[in-house]
């Protein structure tokens, strides 16, 4: 049930208003960009949309105000990034992705059944990993120049800031006591068994 809800929410975001094209405008020739640039725009757009959707989910499920604020920032910042990427995609005839990337789906499903008390750690660990991967993708594109390279260079400071913030929050969460486990303490016999062999 939870998986269906998250999938529907993510697909709704991916097929939302960014699909609309301004009246009277026509996308530029699809040949204006290299295949590599087109792939970068499509991947960055799908990842940004997934980040925005997960940020909205985390605002509802976060257990601490620090994580809730971070999630709000993810939704807002990646929303701005999506607008620019979607504009580039429309201008160059690049299809707007309609489903998340494999890595985004993996993160989404890893969060779907997170038990109470463990969501913040799991979400922040995923964010740290996701932003580390995004930084590598954007740094490689930034070296290539062109419109996609300019976008990547402009976005890198934001991604670095997100990564550092995620790492700091994760370190803070790691210093807190772990949530209580639902298993019997050492030395206690499980229910229905005897503590003695007699």
pLDDT tens readout for residues 10-40: 444 444 444 444 334 444 444 478 999 999 9
pLDDT at 23: 39
pLDDT greater at residue 97 or residue 134: 134
Domain enclosing residue 74, as ranges:
34-175
- Classify residue 69: in a domain, yes or no: yes
Residue 91, class by beta-carbon neighbours within 10 Å (0-12 exposed, 13-18 middle, 19+ buried)? middle
High-pLDDT (> 70) share of the chain, % = 73
Cβ-based neighbours of 179, under 8 Å, separated by 6 or more: 115, 116, 117, 118
Give the model's confidence band at 179: pLDDT under 50 very low, under 70 low, under 90 confident, else very high. low
- Classify residue 6: in a domain, yes or no: no
Domain count, the chain: 1
pTM for the full predicted model: 0.71
Residue 62 is given by DSSP the state -
Rounded to 5°, angle at Cα 130 from 127 and 133: 150
Supply the CATH number for residue 161's domain.
1.20.1260.10
pLDDT exceeds 60 at position 195: no
- Classify residue 81: in a domain, yes or no: yes
pLDDT tens for each residue of 46-91: 889 888 889 988 999 999 999 999 999 999 999 889 999 999 999 9
pLDDT greater at residue 76 or residue 112: 76
pLDDT exceeds 60 at position 180: no
- Classify residue 146: in a domain, yes or no: yes
Across the chain, mean pLDDT equals 78
- Classify residue 29: in a domain, yes or no: no
- Classify residue 87: in a domain, yes or no: yes
- Classify residue 198: in a domain, yes or no: no
Rounded CA gap, 56 and 52, in Å? 6
pLDDT at 117: 86
- Classify residue 25: in a domain, yes or no: no
């Amino acid at each position: 049930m939870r998986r269906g809800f998250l999938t529907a929410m993510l697909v709704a975001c991916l097929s939302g208003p960014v699909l609309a094209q301004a009246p009277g405008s026509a996308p530029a020739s699809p040949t204006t960009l290299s295949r590599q640039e087109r792939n970068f725009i499509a991947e960055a757009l799908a990842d940004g949309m997934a980040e925005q959707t997960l940020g909205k989910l985390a605002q509802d499920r976060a257990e601490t105000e620090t994580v809730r604020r971070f999630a709000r920032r993810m939704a807002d910042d990646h929303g701005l990034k999506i607008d620019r990427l979607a504009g580039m995609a429309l201008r160059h005839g690049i299809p707007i992705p309609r489903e998340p990337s494999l890595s985004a789906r993996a993160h989404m499903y890893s969060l779907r059944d997170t038990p109470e008390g463990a969501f913040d750690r799991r979400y922040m660990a995923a964010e740290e990993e996701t932003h580390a991967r995004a930084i590598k993708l954007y740094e490689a594109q930034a070296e290539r120049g062109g419109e996609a390279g300019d976008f990547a260079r402009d976005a890198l400071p934001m991604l670095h800031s997100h990564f550092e913030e995620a790492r700091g929050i994760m370190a803070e969460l790691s210093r807190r006591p772990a949530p209580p486990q639902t298993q019997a303490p050492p030395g206690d016999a499980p229910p229905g068994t005897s503590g003695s062999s007699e």
